[in-house]
């Protein structure tokens, strides 16, 4: 049913790779705002760990525009994300990057939008809560595929086909996880329905999904105070704010940063009675190749975390789409 859209996305990623192949790319900048920036974080994380051929940075779009990196130029690839295609800061950043001679690409859900007019390569993804598209066409799977396309380009490897296959299985894996953890999600909502503050704790690649849970789910969507605490930084000040009645959601991934997260969880188990742990080791990742599980587990945890917040929304009668300022007040 959506084969044409899947093929289009693959072709757009392939076109960007071919263009990058003709340039001597030394720096890659991922640039956006809010959750859109968090969804690009896997590009930085994966490339930092899979290749030494480029330097990768993640920069807020407004900061990128007002204080652009000195290295920005002909040997740069700038990857942006604006769901609407009209985010002013991101469009301005894209225009600046293009003017400085960088190769530019932007993820967006709106063909023909403002950001498409100022970048070299658009990459379309699909996000419709009313009539959902296959998960394969959402932002994270496409970002992962671009990341591995760039790994192959820079390393001369052939990792992308394995990632593409894994992404085809992702929706079934996530649906199973949400079903398996449905009782815990409902219990989380019951226990937290009156809580006004919920911290998140994570490390490694889990950082992007913890940020989304904090910024996009707890704060933006259900109007709860939150802060995404780094598991390794917890012991250097933030721990003093945690008491017996402090709600915390902690992530445990499968990657090399798991010991960092485990140390934080062990401490939190001692000091708060309101700890929720989302542990990738409890997930059924049967369809995902073992060598890719540490990268893909965060996406499954993201589905779980999203459902935990959704259940909180349902129980409190506060729609996830409610906004006081975004799209209502002119900033």
Q: Examine residue 142 and state whether it is found in any structural domain, yes or no.
A: yes
Q: Examine residue 64 and state whether it is found in any structural domain, yes or no.
A: yes
Report pLDDT for 19.
98
With CA atoms as reference, report the closest residue to 293 among 118, 169, 126, 119. Answer: 169
> Tokens 């449905």 correspond to what residue?
182
The CA distances from residue 181 to 36, 137, 214, 218, 300, in Å, are 26, 24, 20, 19, 11
Instruction: Report the C-alpha gap between 222 and 319 in whole angstroms.
Output: 7
Report pLDDT for 269.
98
Report pLDDT for 1.
63
Residues 19 and 92 in one domain: yes
Supply 74's token pair.
Answer: 């002909």
Residues 137 and 24 in one domain: yes
* CB 116, CB 106: distance < 8 Å: yes
Report pLDDT for 330.
86
Residues 39 and 172 in one domain: no
In the listed set 124, 158, 192, which residue is the last one of a domain according to the structure?
Answer: 158
Q: Examine residue 325 and state whether it is found in any structural domain, yes or no.
A: no
**Over pLDDT 90: what percentage of the chain?**
97
Residues 181 and 116 in one domain: no
How buried is 306 (Cβ within 10 angstroms: 0-12 exposed, 13-18 middle, 19+ buried)?
buried
pLDDT digits (tens, 9 = 90+) for 302-323: 999 999 999 999 999 999 999 9
User: Is 77 strand, coil or helix?
Assistant: strand
Residues 56 and 152 in one domain: yes
Q: Examine residue 302 and state whether it is found in any structural domain, yes or no.
A: yes
* Domain coverage including residue 187: 166-316
Based on the structure, what is the number of domains in the chain?
A: 2
Q: Examine residue 324 and state whether it is found in any structural domain, yes or no.
A: no
Residues 96 and 19 in one domain: yes
Residues 12 and 130 in one domain: yes
Residues 37 and 72 in one domain: yes
With CA atoms as reference, report the closest residue to 135 among 22, 292, 267, 299. Answer: 299
Instruction: Report the C-alpha gap between 162 and 158 in whole angstroms.
Output: 8
Instruction: Report the C-alpha gap between 36 and 40 in whole angstroms.
Output: 7
Q: Examine residue 41 and state whether it is found in any structural domain, yes or no.
A: yes
In the listed set 137, 158, 179, which residue is the last one of a domain according to the structure?
Answer: 158
The dihedrals phi and psi of 55, each to the nearest 5 degrees, come to: -105, 135
Q: Examine residue 328 and state whether it is found in any structural domain, yes or no.
A: no
Q: Examine residue 72 and state whether it is found in any structural domain, yes or no.
A: yes
Residues 95 and 126 in one domain: yes
Instruction: Report the C-alpha gap between 254 and 145 in whole angstroms.
Output: 20
Q: How many CB atoms lie within 10 A of CB 14?
A: 13
* CB 98, CB 120: distance < 8 Å: yes
In the listed set 158, 185, 219, which residue is the last one of a domain according to the structure?
Answer: 158
Residues 30 and 108 in one domain: yes
Residues 53 and 87 in one domain: yes
pLDDT digits (tens, 9 = 90+) for 75-133: 999 999 999 999 999 999 999 999 999 999 999 999 999 999 999 999 999 998 888 89
The residues of the chain scoring below 50 in pLDDT are none
Residues 154 and 231 in one domain: no
Give residue 182's Cα distance to chain centre.
Answer: 22
Domain of residue 229, CATH code: 3.40.50.10490
């Amino acid at each position: 049913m959506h084969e044409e859209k899947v093929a289009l996305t693959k072709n757009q990623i392939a076109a960007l790779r071919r263009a990058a192949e003709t340039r001597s790319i030394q720096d890659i900048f991922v640039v956006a705002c809010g959750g859109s920036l968090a969804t690009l974080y896997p590009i930085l994380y994966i490339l930092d760990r899979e290749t030494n051929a480029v330097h990768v940075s993640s920069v807020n779009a407004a900061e990128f525009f007002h204080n652009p990196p000195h290295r920005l130029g002909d040997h740069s690839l700038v990857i942006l994300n604006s769901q609407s295609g009209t985010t002013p800061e991101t469009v301005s950043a894209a225009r600046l990057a293009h003017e400085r001679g960088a190769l530019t690409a932007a993820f967006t859900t709106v063909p023909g939008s403002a950001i498409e007019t100022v970048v070299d390569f658009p990459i379309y993804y699909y996000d419709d809560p009313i009539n959902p598209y296959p998960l394969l066409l959402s932002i994270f799977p496409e970002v992962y595929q671009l990341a591995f396309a760039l790994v192959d380009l820079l390393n001369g490897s052939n990792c992308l086909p394995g990632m593409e296959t894994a992404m085809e299985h992702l929706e079934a894996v996530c649906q199973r996880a949400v079903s398996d953890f449905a009782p815990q999600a409902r219990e989380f909502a019951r226990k937290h329905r009156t809580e006004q503050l919920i911290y998140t704790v994570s490390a490694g690649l889990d950082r992007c999904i913890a940020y989304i849970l904090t910024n996009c789910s707890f704060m933006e969507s259900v109007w709860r105070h939150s802060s995404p605490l780094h598991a390794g930084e917890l012991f250097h000040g933030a721990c003093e704010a945690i008491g017996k009645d402090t709600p915390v959601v902690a992530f445990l991934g499968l990657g090399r940063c798991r010991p960092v997260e485990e140390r934080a969880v062990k401490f939190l188990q001692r000091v708060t009675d309101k700890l929720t742990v989302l542990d990738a080791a409890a997930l059924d990742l049967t369809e995902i190749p073992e060598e890719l599980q540490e990268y893909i587990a965060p996406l499954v945890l993201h589905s779980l975390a999203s459902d935990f917040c959704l259940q909180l929304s349902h129980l409190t009668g506060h729609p996830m789409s409610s906004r006081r300022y975004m799209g209502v007040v002119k900033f």
